[in-house]
């Protein structure tokens, strides 16, 4: 039974609780004032890529189909400049047991929990990850608790979140649904402390290493089917794990020239912790409410050092709108006969635009799809949005206003992408990580760490520090 424990008492013990629930000593990776040995942390797991693939195969995860979207490719070529219009492929991650790529993350985390003798696992998520953890816990005979941030103060929950909660329960998890606010992290800590379960965190090294097989399979399958390296891979970007794991896997296969393009739904102006704004968004993940904060401050996660480090790997970062994702969801179903959920279709919306910029003989990959269900369907989401006072209309990207207007395109030529300024994001990251540090006392290890973090040469860091110190 849960006992009433004061909020501050639990929060003061968060590092102790996290270390016990993961059994990872993060202090061993520290370097200098702010740095840490990221690659050592990732390899300290003791799992090679081959080990991860084997564990996933034993649990019916991975080795998903790579589908050529022939009809969408032809449609794109009709509206592209002569010689443009790359072949569009989609990695069909809906084929995993719980219906998303997050089975890859959950498999390794739950395997580790079983190996270390935990009797159960806990995941705090309103997304597909909860279903993935529940599925893998059922396979391993472990108990599972999923915490969901589900309702606003009026007791209203988004259809997509409710659908995911239903799936978690169907897979045997105990689902604890909470209102929006700081209680989610508090309850996760409290339950980890009282149950002594394993923290199946999205942001542990296990959660990221599990996705590396996805990137590796993409590289391998494109090579086998087309004899080349993909020109670009579109990755739906939220907390950063999808970008990080996919990029690392591609590089391990040898795809060093492939452009890694992060894609998020533009929800600028909406605050994810706001009671009012919480239900005025029509997506629960893959949006800027996660991707911008986690890019700028990756260690805002529930573990001392987040293994998801998206700025290390992003070559480009673009946004699309809610209406465009709804439109592309319908387009995929009616032209390719594939009904899939919004997470992967976020990247597909961008790919349909970006493919027009690549040559016909090049390949662009949408690296995930997800299962869909009644609550994830556009009709359910749009009906709920209307009840929140959001206007639904036909139109292009420029008419979309997050939380107020969802503009749904009428034809493919109205699709577009907005480029996020990666240099500005890098500067925000550096400003954040250095805010409580004497930048004039940084060691060479600190500077090397920062250069790796923002995917730039050491000169970039030296120039930034000079500009700061001269202010």
What does the CA dihedral 429, 431, 433, 434 come to, rounded to 10 degrees? 160
Joined together, the tokens standing for residue 292 give 């911008």
Residue keyed to tokens 């999808």: 242
The continuous run of DSSP H or E covering 383 comes out as: helix 378-387
Say how many C-beta atoms besides its own lie within 10 A of residue 263's C-beta.
29
Give per-residue pLDDT as tens, 362-414: 999 999 999 998 888 999 999 999 999 999 999 999 999 999 999 999 999 99
**Phi first, then psi: what are they for 346, rounded to 5°?**
-65, -50
- Percent residues over pLDDT 70 in the chain: 99
User: Contact, 157 vs 151, CB < 8 A?
Assistant: yes
Nearest-angstrom CA–CA distance, 365 and 86: 10
User: Contact, 464 vs 430, CB < 8 A?
Assistant: yes
Given a cut of 70, is residue 2 above it in pLDDT? no
Say how many C-beta atoms besides its own lie within 10 A of residue 85's C-beta.
24
Whose CA is closest to 168, among 214, 129, 139? 129
Joined together, the tokens standing for residue 323 give 């209406």
Give per-residue pLDDT as tens, 158-179: 999 999 999 999 999 999 999 9
User: Contact, 77 vs 360, CB < 8 A?
Assistant: yes
Q: What is the mean pLDDT of residues 25-41?
A: 93
Nearest-angstrom CA–CA distance, 465 and 463: 5
User: Contact, 108 vs 55, CB < 8 A?
Assistant: yes
Q: What is the pLDDT of residue 273?
A: 81
Rg (CA), the chain: 21
Q: For residue 4, name the pLDDT band (cuts at 50, 70, 90).
A: low
Joined together, the tokens standing for residue 356 give 């027009």
Whose CA is closest to 313, among 229, 366, 255? 255
Q: Is 260 strand, coil or helix?
A: strand
Least trusted range by pLDDT, from 7-16, 64-73, 222-231, 238-247: 7-16
Say how many C-beta atoms besides its own lie within 10 A of residue 226's C-beta.
16
pTM summary value? 0.96
């Amino acid at each position: 039974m849960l006992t009433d424990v004061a909020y501050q008492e639990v929060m003061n013990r968060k590092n102790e609780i996290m270390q016990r629930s993961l059994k990872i000593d993060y202090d061993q990776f520290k370097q200098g004032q702010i740095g840490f040995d990221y690659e050592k942390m990732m390899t300290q797991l003791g799992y090679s890529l081959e080990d991860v693939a084997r564990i996933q195969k034993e649990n019916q995860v991975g080795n998903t189909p790579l589908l050529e979207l022939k009809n969408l490719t032809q449609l794109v070529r009709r509206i592209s400049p002569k010689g443009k219009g790359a072949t569009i492929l989609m990695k069909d991650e809906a084929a995993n047991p719980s219906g998303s790529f997050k089975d890859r993350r959950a498999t390794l985390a739950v395997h580790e929990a079983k190996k270390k003798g935990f009797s159960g696992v806990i995941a705090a998520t309103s997304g597909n990850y909860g279903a993935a953890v529940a599925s893998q816990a059922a396979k391993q005979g472990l108990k599972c608790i999923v915490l969901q941030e589900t309702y606003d103060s009026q007791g209203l929950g988004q259809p997509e979140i409710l659908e995911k909660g239903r799936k978690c329960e169907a897979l045997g998890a105990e689902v604890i649904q909470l209102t929006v606010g700081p209680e989610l992290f508090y309850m996760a800590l409290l339950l980890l402390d009282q149950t002594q379960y394993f923290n199946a965190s999205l942001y542990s090294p296990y959660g990221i290493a599990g996705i590396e097989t996805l990137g590796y399979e993409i590289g391998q399958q494109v090579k086998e089917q087309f004899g080349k390296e993909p020109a670009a891979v579109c990755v739906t970007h939220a907390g950063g794990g999808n970008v990080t794991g996919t990029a690392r896997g591609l590089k391990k296969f040898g795809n060093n020239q492939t452009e890694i393009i992060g894609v998020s739904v533009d929800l600028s102006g909406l605050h994810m912790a706001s009671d009012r704004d919480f239900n005025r968004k029509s997506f629960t993940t893959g949006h800027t409410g996660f991707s911008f904060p986690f890019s700028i401050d990756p260690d805002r996660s529930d573990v001392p050092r987040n293994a998801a480090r998206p700025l290390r790997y992003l070559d480009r970062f673009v946004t699309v709108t809610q209406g465009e994702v709804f439109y592309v969801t319908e387009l995929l179903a009616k032209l390719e006969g594939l009904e899939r959920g919004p997470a992967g279709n976020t990247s597909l919306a961008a790919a349909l635009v970006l493919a027009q910029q690549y040559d016909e003989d090049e390949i662009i990959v949408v690296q995930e799809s997800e299962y869909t269900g009644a609550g994830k369907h556009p009709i359910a989401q749009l009906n709920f949005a209307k009840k929140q006072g959001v206007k639904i209309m036909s139109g292009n990207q420029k008419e979309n206003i997050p939380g107020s207007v969802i503009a749904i395109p009428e034809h493919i030529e109205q699709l577009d992408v907005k480029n996020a300024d990666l240099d500005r994001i890098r500067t925000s990251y550096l400003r954040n990580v250095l805010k409580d540090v004497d930048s004039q006392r940084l060691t060479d290890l600190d500077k090397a760490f920062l250069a790796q973090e923002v995917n730039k040469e050491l000169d970039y860091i030296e120039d930034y520090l000079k500009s700061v110190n001269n202010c």
